[in-house]
A and B are shown apart, each in its own frame.
Chain A
């Protein structure tokens, strides 16, 4: 029960930092919220898989409150990221960094598209897709910068050469 506390606190702290006013232009309004999916992906795929889904849900709700959006919106996107990261973590045969990045790129694309689709359904009109696209692209581009230094401590890739299976 207590083993998920540290990654959960890291995630909540990241949500608070993402919500403070950094004076980003309107086109970059999705960059900070979508950067959070890097944290969720990395903390979910780490060796011990300690980040509980309840914490991811609570972080999403917190993000909804802080961004004045409808409750449940970021919760769904964060849960989706958590689910995809869990699936990758269980099924990945070779945990190379390139594979990890590719898996994150797919996850970020799904998260960004879901965010756009849910918002469009919520408003019953097609909303501007560019901020979502920019946010997703920036998250994919920044993933190596943020995760590469932590890949060994978090156990995202093995310490030695890739182990042979089978």
Chain B
């Protein structure tokens, strides 16, 4: 009996390595089956994390107040700048007779399980086909891009995080918008690969999705460049990938394969045209949580 179980385990491992379709289907089925149990089981963890966060906030209350006052002053300046640029942009668009980009819809849900072990950096989101989620959709939180959907069940979806070993994201780096690919290696900070030799990349440069390939929307902020080993660069994501609580799935379809079919009953929000960066920057964690609570 024991030998048979060992044999079965090894066979399953081999079939998983060969990426057998039936194994994938079985996994999807089991994920759907256990997602209601996980949703209940994750509640104590969510409350514990929220309680810890509130305690830390309370202890840092006065420092946080000073920081927020200073930030508010800076943001007023940026608000004025943004309004000025928005007016100029609208004027230029009118002059060019530019086509309006379609609005981007999204749905927000809680993380009900996260992957641990050597194989994957992924999360299970309590949103599935029933909510309009499909494979390939981008996943963000208030801090920016965190990953993309790789498997969709009826009521739950699996998203690989951008630091997963299998993650490859086309990105733009810095003010010069240098093209590169962000490669996950299961570490906290993914690598920047395929940078042109002559590229001017500096520590602290912002990294965002390039939209090349049409899978992900352009302009989702990811993180900042940090020096890696040798002459390589890594990216420190703005989102804390190990502490995700609520995330939003962006309903962005490849321009060639556009479908507007979202299941009835799925509550979705809308991001204004060109507002991906704005959404990730300004909506914030609080808004994401509020969106989830209205679901």
Contacts and interface: CB of A to CB of B under 8 A. Distances in A.
A132 B46 CA distance: 25
A5 interface: no
A76 B124 contact: no
A155 interface: no
Contacts of B45: 20-23
A24 B114 CA distance: 10
B195 interface: no
A66 B38 contact: yes
A26 B10 contact: no
B1 A53 contact: yes
B5 A119 contact: no
A166 interface: no
A1 interface: no
A72 interface: yes
Nearest to B42: A20
Interface residues of B, number: 53
Given A20-B38, A54-B5, A72-B9, A119 B119 contact: yes
A116 B118 contact: yes
The main secondary structure of chain B at its interface with chain A is helix
Nearest to B12: A72
A16 B9 contact: no
A66 B113 contact: yes
Contacts of A67: 113, 115-117, 119-120
Interface residues of A, number: 45
B286 interface: no
A4 interface: no
A128 to B, nearest CB: 7
B41 A79 contact: no
Considering residues A26, A66, A79, which has the most beta carbons from chain B within 10 angstroms of its beta carbon?
A66
Contacts, number: 150
The main secondary structure of chain A at its interface with chain B is helix
Interface in A40-80: 53-54, 57, 60-62, 65-76, 79
Contacts of A69: 115, 117-120
A19 B113 contact: yes
A72 B49 CA distance: 31
A71 B12 contact: yes
Contacts of A72: 8-13, 16
A29 B41 CA distance: 19
B36 to A, nearest CB: 11
Interface in B105-158: 111-124, 158
A76 B10 contact: yes
A158 interface: no
A144 interface: no
Contacts of A66: 31, 34, 38, 113, 115, 124
B231 interface: no
A68 B242 contact: no
B118 A119 contact: yes
A166 to B, nearest CB: 30
A71 B27 contact: yes
Contact of A21 (B1, B12, B16, B244): B244
Contacts of B117: 29-30, 33, 67, 69, 73-74, 115, 119
A-B pairs with lowest CB-CB distance, top 7: A70-B16, A72-B12, A72-B13, A119-B118, A69-B119, A72-B9, A20-B42
10 contacts: A20-B41, A20-B113, A54-B1, A66-B31, A68-B120, A68-B124, A69-B120, A71-B13, A72-B8, A75-B9
